Structure formats: structure tokens, C-alpha cells
Amino acid sequence: MTATRGLEGIVATTSSVSSIIDDTLTYAGYNIDDLAENASFEEVVYLLWHRKLPNTDQLNEIKKQLAENAKIPQQVIDHFRTYPINSVHPMAALRTAVSLLGLFDEEADVMDTEANYRKAIRLQAQLPIVVTSFARIRKGLEPIEPRTDLTMAANFLYTLSGQEPDEVAIEAFNKALVLHADHELNASTFTARVCVATLSDVYSGVTAAIGALKGPLHGGANEAVMKMLAEIGEVENAESYINEKLANKEKIMGFGHRVYRQGDPRAKHLRAMSEKLTKLTGEPKWYEMSMKVEELVTSQKPLPPNVDFYSASVYHSLGIDHDLFTPIFAVSRVSGWLAHILEQYDNNRLIRPRADYVGPDKQVYVPVDQRS
């Protein structure tokens, strides 16, 4: 047996949710470029869960279900208030909250298809409100109840700030949600599938996936990108900063990808949004600095920017706290996790690969008082 480090190139399952072929990303056969330009996030949720775009009635129905299920239990709010609020990362709070939501869902361990779909609706509806409620509580503000007349993108921004967002912000945030919704067998989705393949419950699968997304090699990179941009500070500092990092063989966050070779097709949409929004907010330097970093990295390494690179300056321009960037990724990606979880249950087999053992062999047990 020979191990493949990081399972690179291993095909671990079949899936009809999304695909990456020759650097082209599709959700159930629809090109991401088309969806990014045209689709609402609610349509994409439906698409990922049903593998077809909804008609008007189906779209209205899923919107209604999501709106009706968005309110989170008071116990989750009360739990947040017990945290050492200034030191808890919102991704850790989200991970704990999803586990907690499972405790208050009477159907948490009911394993039939309809019950699992109802849980998917509840999780998709509630995750954004968990994030915005935590974000407000840690600032000493009261959580805001989601409105039933707003889209998911608008409701997120509204329940975060208390202000009804403008059309530009809603459009940008909706596009970001569409672009992050699913991505074949990425690390967090694989984690979710491994978890539920033991026939564990949906809440456990999503909790596990949040844990995997949190790391800086995966979803956590978007926050790390903003930290890097803030450290660079001004465009003219980018060259020495990046060259020093590359010379020290340090990773530049937001670059590289396990699957894409020519580039991440999502990045161009986020780059365009970054340009537009940073100009509108009067802070074009975040876009200019990002462009300079891209030029410096790509001229020295075959490492194009990934989805996390330009999303950082997009979210910053929307006035969002930097440590909420990865939770926002989760608010979108939970749609993909849930699609994969439901698909896994549909045709389940335990996921249990092998390890190539490289430890010591033929050891002889020695009583503790005779060991050196």
C-alpha cells in the first residue's frame, strides 16, 4: 500500500452536486459564470439540493420555507452571552452554535429523507442569523430578527448592521454567496460526508464541516488575506513584503489551489467586485494592493489567486468585521455541505480508507519500572 499525500488526485466518491473539469466549475451542470451573473442565492440553494433550477412556484416555496425557519432558538442567543466574548473567534462560536441547534431540534436524529430535508432548510435559514446575532452580541448590541420580505443576502446585511442595505451591497453579497456555495470534494465537504457516512446526523456533519473550513489552508484564508493586506498597508510596501515572504518560502494567503492549475474561475468575479466596491467606498487602495500582490506572486510562481483572495477586499468594503469573513463562507457553503450530506445518505457506504503504516515494528512490551 502506498499513501498519496493529502489524497491528491484520488477520486473518493461520485457526486452530481458540482464538478470541476478542466478548471471549469459547474453546479449541477450550470457554469459558475452564468450563475454568478444571473442567479439569486436562493435559486442556487434549490439547484444544489434538487439538481435543477426552480420554477417561480418552487422558488417562492423555498424562499418562504427559508424565511419561516430563520429565527434561531433563544437558548443559542443566551449561550452566546456566557462566552468570554472578546476571545472567541466567530467560527468557533458558529461551530458550537450549530451543535447546539441540534439539541433543540426534535428531529435531529430522525433519519428519513423528508426529515433530513427539513433540517437542511432549518440549518440553511438559521446559519446566517447565528453569525449576525453573535456579531452583534459581542459588540453589546441586541440581535435583530430576520425579516420575511428580504432575500437571504439582504437579510444577512440587515441583521448584521440593523440598516437596510442598498442594492449595490445586496447584489455584491448575493454574488459572493453564489460563488462560495459548492466546490466538489473540498476539505470541509469531504469532512461532512465522512461524518454522515457513519449514519451520524445532519447537525454533526455540518459541525464537523465548520471545523474543517475554519483552517487557514481552506476557508480561513479569506481572513488571513485581509490581515496580510492590512500588514502591507500601502501599495508601495507590497513588493518588499511579498518578495520577503516568497524568499522565506512562506505561503501567500489566497493563492494556489489543489485542483485548479490555470486559475480559479470564481476569482475574476470577486476581482471585479473588489474594484467596484473599493472605488465606491473611497478606498481603492485595497483593490490596487491586491492587484499588485497578484502581479508579484504570479510573475514569480505558477500560483493564481483563489476564491479567498479578492473576497477579502469585497467583504471589507461592505463594512464587515474581518473575523466574520470565514463565517460568511460557511453561511454560503452550508448549502453545498447539505447537498452532499443528503446525497451521501441517499447512497451511503461508510468512508474508511487505509493508512500506510510507517511506525516501529515488532516491539516487545517492557514493564514500566524497567524502561529507560
Ligand X SMILES: O=C([O-])CC(=O)C(=O)O
Q: Which residues are catalytic?
A: 257, 308
According to CB under 6 A, which one of 85, 108, 217, 235 is a site residue for ligand ACO?
A: 217
DSSP 306-323: -HHHHHHHHHHHTT--GG
Q: H-type helices in 18-112, by residue range?
A: 32-38, 41-50, 56-68, 74-80, 90-103
Nearer to ligand ACO, 28 or 296 (CB): 296
CA distance 110 to 153: 30
* Under rule CB under 6 A, residue 255 binds ligand ACO: yes
CA distance 29 to 13: 17
DSSP 8-state assignment for residue 150? S
Considering only residues 180 to 219 of the shown chain, the ones binding ligand X according to CB under 6 A are: 183, 186
Q: Stretches 126-134, 254-262, 315-323, 343-351: which one binds ligand ACO (CB under 6 A)?
A: 254-262
Nearer to ligand ACO, 122 or 292 (CB): 292
According to CB under 6 A, which one of 50, 71, 258, 279 is a site residue for ligand X?
A: 258
CA distance 140 to 129: 16
Q: Which does 252 bind (CB under 5 to 8 A by kind): ligand ACO, ligand X, none?
A: ligand ACO
* Under rule CB under 6 A, residue 257 binds ligand ACO: yes
Q: Stretches 67-75, 141-149, 253-261, 284-292: which one binds ligand ACO (CB under 6 A)?
A: 253-261
CA distance 146 to 150: 8
Q: Identify whether the C-beta of residue 305 lies closer than 8 Å to the C-beta of residue 264.
A: yes
According to CB under 6 A, which one of 254, 265, 284, 327 is a site residue for ligand ACO?
A: 254
C-alpha cell at 146: 430576520
25: which strand partners? 20
Q: Which position's Cβ is nearest ligand X?
A: 186
Nearer to ligand ACO, 73 or 263 (CB): 263
Residues that bind ligand ACO (CB under 6 A): 6, 217-219, 221, 251-258, 303, 306-308
